[in-house]
Amino acid sequence: MKIAILTRGPQLYSTRCLQEAAIQRGHEVTLINPLYCYMNIASHNPSIHYRGEELPRFDAIIPRIGASITFYGTALVRQFEMMHTYSINRSIAITRSRDKLRCLQLLSSKGVGLPITGFSHSPSDITDLIAMVGGAPLVIKLLEGTQGVGVVLAETTKAAESVIEAFLGLRVNIMVQEYIRESNGADIRCLVIGNKVVAAMERKAKAGEFRSNLHRGGKSKIIKLTLQERKTAILAAKLMGLNFAGVDMLRSDRGPLIMEVNSSPGLEGIQNTTGINVAEMAIKFMEENLTSKDGKFLVIHS
């Protein structure tokens, strides 16, 4: 197969693993920076140009679209789809999961467990917003936050009010969420490929911290999932339409609660923790989806 990895980080661990796995399995790999691509959409013959030249046809792409370039990146993935190139994660699925609220709304509509979550634009009724999610202690999150930055635990109603007021005063979008105390500073990352959880790890916050992000000093270890956790992770990825996803959940007294579904899951933490070659499994999945019964590569009309 001719595979393109859409990434702005050719040197990143995940990119290199995917590249190496694909080469090892006999594929030709090109790394493409999405921001250097420009597209011709005004004809019956869609094309993509890259730094002055038209790109050749690829059989498949692996989009690794960062949050800061979601709009342009997903447009590019869509353009590849219009050219009948198979994408492990389709553009629409990336868009669905990238918008955290849209993701949670979709999951809740299908009965997937979530922490009770409120969302507000204006500070007009903070008291009711807090009451709506069950009162303090509660977690307040910047919608655009990542690696635990902008995730605050407010222990009291007073603290919650001040933090919400401050965030909304800055005109940023926030989520207000029930604090899942019994998760004990730990969360679970499930790596889903197709219909399977291929690897899972627990991340545990360091002492005195409730955020388990590895970037905040959290430690990871391999974990055995319950059947319900496994099913929930698979369902969450499926509802997003993602074939390759990182599903984050909290263990609670009422079962697994999904926090987020990630369409460009990082591979370093999960591979080092579990020893599982997730990158190779992703490439194999693509092969299976692009190979017909007689062994020829198919082009899937997306």
Ligand X SMILES: Nc1ncnc2c1ncn2[C@@H]1O[C@H](COP(=O)(O)OP(=O)(O)OP(=O)(O)O)[C@@H](O)[C@H]1O
**What does the binding site for ligand X look like in residue numbers (CB under 6 A)?**
115, 139, 141, 145-149, 151, 177-180, 183, 187, 205, 210-213, 248, 250, 259-260
Least CB distance from residue 133 to ligand X, whole Å?
9
Smallest distance, ligand X to C-beta of residue 219, A: 12
| Shortest spacing between CB 86 and ligand X, in angstroms | 27
**Closest CB to ligand X among residues 81, 202:** 202
- Rounded distance between C-alpha atoms, residue 84 and residue 213, angstroms: 38
Token output for 97: 């999961």
**Residue 123 or 145: which CB sits closer to ligand X?**
145
Q: Cα 294 to the chain's mean position, in Å? A: 34
182: enclosing H helix or E strand: none
Q: In angstroms, rounded to a whole number, what is the distance separating the alpha carbons of residues 5 and 22? A: 10
What contacts 101, CB < 8 A, 6 or more positions away? 119, 143, 175
User: Residue 204 Cβ, how far from ligand X at the closest point, in Å?
Assistant: 9
Which of 59, 248 has the CB closer to ligand X? 248
User: How many angstroms separate the first and last alpha carbons of the chain?
Assistant: 17
Crossing angle between the packed helical segments 91-98 and 227-240, to the nearest 10 degrees: 120
Give dist(CA 274, CA 3) in Å, integer. Answer: 26
Q: Please, which residue, 47 or 70, has the CB nearer to ligand X?
A: 70
* Nearer Cβ to ligand X (115/118): 115
CB of 183 to ligand X, least distance (A): 5
Nearer to ligand X, 148 or 241 (CB): 148
Comparing CB distances to ligand X, the nearer of 21 and 205 is 205
Query: Strand pairing partners for 32?
Result: 6
Q: How far is the CB of 276 from ligand X (least distance, A)?
A: 21
Q: Is the peptide bond before 137 cis (omega within 30 degrees of 0)?
A: yes
Ordered alpha helix ranges (H), the chain: 13-24, 70-82, 91-98, 100-109, 126-132, 157-169, 227-240, 268-274, 278-290
- Shortest gap between Cβ of 209 and ligand X (angstroms)? 9
